[in-house]
A and B are shown apart, each in its own frame.
Chain A
Amino acid sequence: MIMNSGIPLEFYLVLATVMFFTGIYGFLTRRNLITMLMSVELILNSVNINFMAFNRFLFPGKLEGHFFSLFVIAVAAAEAAVAIAIIINIYRRFTTINVEDVNQMKY
């Protein structure tokens, strides 16, 4: 096991895995658009932890993982802004953000 200040790489990876699949569980069970968005944020965040841990432990001289998670955060910010605009528009039209009640375009 690779150690860096007493913490092996696997600890970070397992922690990120737990966080990722908690996000998956939330995405499958939640029926409110904002809580689904929060689950997606959890998933994106766990991937960022993976990038940073790999960068630090396997390629400490380089910065690829560092910049990749920087760009992931920027894309997540853009995604959250657009998603919340859509959610507010949906709320204005249907007065609910429950995905099961928003089915006008379903058929």
Chain B
Amino acid sequence: MEAKQIMFAIFALVIVVFSVLTVTSRRILRAAVSLLMVLIATAGLYFLLSYQFMAAVQLTLYAGGIVVLIIFSILLTSQISHKFERIETKKALFSALAAVAGAVVVITTILNHSFSADSAAAAEVDMHLIGHSLLETGRDGYVLPFEVISVLLVAAMIGAIVIAKKGSPHKDEPAK
């Protein structure tokens, strides 16, 4: 076995184990840390595919940004020592059935389909190429989605501030 195959096996194991822990752990902070491990292992997969830029984005934005945001909101809204009650057996059973059935269908489809190979050599993506295509207006340019995403981020930021700020005390009586 090559080193890359061993690395892939490690990342796959980490992703599967910690994904299951993310959705089954009864302590919310442990679930968040498992999610962090999954996201870091995904960045490792991107390194294996030699997409260094995406791996860096994954580490900074997902593992750095979103997980910190989630942990902050956990600390604001939950008791750390609180454990979730057990899921009803019926609900867990049917959810697992739906998930396993879907996974079986998709995996059989994947394994039965033969993908047409492109024999071009896998090259590392040049960082200059990424920057140029992000801001290019031509055929291979992505300036329109780039601008749309920046407007979306501004809208999301303003929306988050407006939603989360405290309203005036007369209007926002808590419904008890």
User: Which A residues lie at the B interface, using CB under 8 A?
Assistant: 2, 4-7, 9-15, 17-26, 28-32, 34-35, 37-39, 41-42, 45, 48-49, 52-53, 56-61, 63, 66-67, 69-71, 73-82, 84-89, 91-95, 97, 104
A-B residue pairs in contact (CB < 8 Å), sample of 8 = A11-B8, A15-B16, A34-B78, A48-B58, A52-B49, A77-B66, A87-B73, A97-B77
Complex contact B54–A22 (CB within 8 A): no
Contacts A34-B73, A45-B62: A63 and B130 contacting too (C-beta < 8 A)? yes
Question: Considering only CB atoms and an 8 Å cut-off, how many residues of chain B contact the other chain?
Answer: 87
Complex contact B111–A10 (CB within 8 A): yes
Using Cβ atoms and an 8 Å threshold, which residues of chain A touch B12? 11, 15
Using Cβ atoms and an 8 Å threshold, which residues of chain B touch A71? 145, 149
Contacts A32-B84, A52-B51: A59 and B58 contacting too (C-beta < 8 A)? no
Complex contact B91–A29 (CB within 8 A): yes
Q: Does B10 contact A (CB under 8 A)?
A: no
16 A-B pairs besides A6-B2, A29-B92, A58-B118 with CB distance below 8 A are: A2-B115, A5-B2, A15-B15, A18-B15, A28-B95, A39-B22, A63-B125, A66-B53, A67-B133, A69-B54, A70-B57, A75-B149, A78-B152, A80-B70, A81-B69, A92-B174
Complex contact A30–B42 (CB within 8 A): no
Chain A residue nearest to B152 (CB atoms) is A78
Chain B residue nearest to A19 (CB atoms) is B19
Q: Mark B117-128, 1 if CB is under 8 A from A, else 0.
A: 110111101000
Give Cα distance in the complex from A87 to B129, angstroms: 39
